[in-house]
Amino acid sequence: MDHEKVAASLAELGNSHRLSVFRFLVKAGHDGASVGDIQKGLGIPASTLSHHLARMAKVGLIRQEKHSRTIVCIPEYGHLENLGYTDLMVDGAPLPHQPDTIIRWLIDRLRS
């Protein structure tokens, strides 16, 4: 993944609302969560949440699937690997099947 795409993805996670949404989705697991569940869980107004979800989907952090009349948001766990930070993973780094640990590790790594 090129530096522009990496920067765009990390910029989206740099917003506290989007980071909260992404963490919520990671905790929800591979099935994701409905927009309504995210809204209830985080207390973000519907129009604001819609804006954040659209931005996250645009850079590939999440995907949205329509199930009947419900929109389900699913985190793209593999996207973090594609950000180009796999070269930073050394002994003690999280395994790919531990998505919440990967998020925390990546954020801690970027803050230091």
Name the residue among 38, 85, 46, 87 with its Cα closest to residue 62. Answer: 38
- The tens digit of pLDDT for each residue in 71-86 reads 999 988 777 666 655 4
- Whether the predicted model's global pTM rises above the 0.85 cut: no
Q: Quick check: 20 pLDDT over 80?
A: yes
pLDDT of residue 91: 47
Domain ranges for the chain: 3-111
Q: Are strands 62-67 and 70-75 parallel, antiparallel or unpaired?
A: antiparallel
Burial of 30 per CB tally in 10 Å (0-12, 13-18, 19+): exposed
CATH code reported for the domain at 3-111: 1.10.10.10
pLDDT of residue 88: 44
